Amino acid sequence: MIAVAGGKGGSGKTTTTLGLARALSRRGAPVVAADADWDLPNLARLAAETAVDSMVAGPESGAVDRDARTVLDAARGTDLVRPDRSGPTVLAAPEAPRSVDANATFDALDGATPGSAPVLLDCPAGASPDVAAPLRAADRSLIATPLRRAALRDAAKTAAIARRLDCPPLGAVAIGETSVPEEVATLLGCPVLGEIPDGGGAPLSDPAVREAYDDLARRLGGTAAATEWKIA
């Protein structure tokens, strides 16, 4: 599992989780994208809202009819996760998250998903206590951040937390940028794998953004994390 993490809210984690999931699906991978930000869950909503835009360009809709499936259902085995290549399987947050053991749920989710399927976790923002559970469960992390000074400072803190929780960053994704200074990789301690341009109010419907996520998927597919994935 890969935890998509970042600094404060609005860093682009949810958009990156879904954009990357759809890009990996376009490469033939059976992808699972799960909402791990249970206090501010919006992954399934974003998938539903952008499904039409996605279908204009291809079949990877984000599975509107799958939005009711939750991470907890999948972890308990009450709704088996059988991702296919038609589009990412999106798992929503539990309906009553405060009554759920997040650590046990994400550990169980890892066992409930095929090893050949990329699993992306849309994490809570920054250094909140809730970010620990998905970071502990995931194998590696991907740091999404704008290039503003405060955002980069928070992203560096998140990368440090991920390392302490044995979830070292594979790389970073620069949000709203097409060119990244070399110093960013040095600050975050990992390579910059993606440069996502500003897509305005509907970034996932922007062809340039889609192309950037396709390039991110290609680069991610070349890392050690993708060794067992079924991906073109």
All domains in the chain, ordered by first residue: 2-220 (3.40.50.300)
Q: Is the four-CA dihedral 57, 14, 161, 195 of positive or negative sign?
A: positive
pTM here is 0.91
Q: How many residues does the structure list for the chain?
A: 232
The answer to whether residues 31 and 88 touch, using CB atoms and an 8 Å cutoff, is yes
Integer angstrom CA distances of residue 13 from 7, 103, 123, 124 = 9, 20, 7, 9
Element (H, E) at 219: helix 207-221
Please name which of 200, 182, 198 lies closest in space to residue 190, comparing C-alpha atoms: 182
Q: Which residues of 178-191 are buried (b: 16+ CB within 10 A; e: fewer)?
A: eeeeeebeebbebe
Cα separation, 136 vs 17, whole angstroms: 18
Q: What is the pLDDT of residue 63?
A: 45
197: exposed, middle or buried (Cβ count in 10 Å: 0-12, 13-18, 19+): middle
**Over its length of 232 residues, how does the chain's per-residue pLDDT go in tens digits?**
999 999 877 889 999 999 999 999 999 999 999 999 999 999 999 999 998 544 333 334 444 444 468 999 899 887 678 888 888 999 999 999 999 999 999 999 988 888 889 999 999 987 777 899 999 999 999 999 999 999 999 999 999 999 999 999 999 999 998 899 999 999 999 999 999 999 888 999 999 999 999 999 999 988 888 888 877 6
Pairwise CA distance, residues 69 & 67, whole Å = 5
Could you write out the three-class secondary structure of 70-108?
A: EHHHHHHCCCCCCCCCCCCEEEECCCCHHHCCHHHHHHH
Burial 47-73 (b: 16+ CB within 10 A, else e): bbebbebbeeeeebbbbbebbebbbbb
Query: What's the pLDDT score for residue 232?
Result: 63
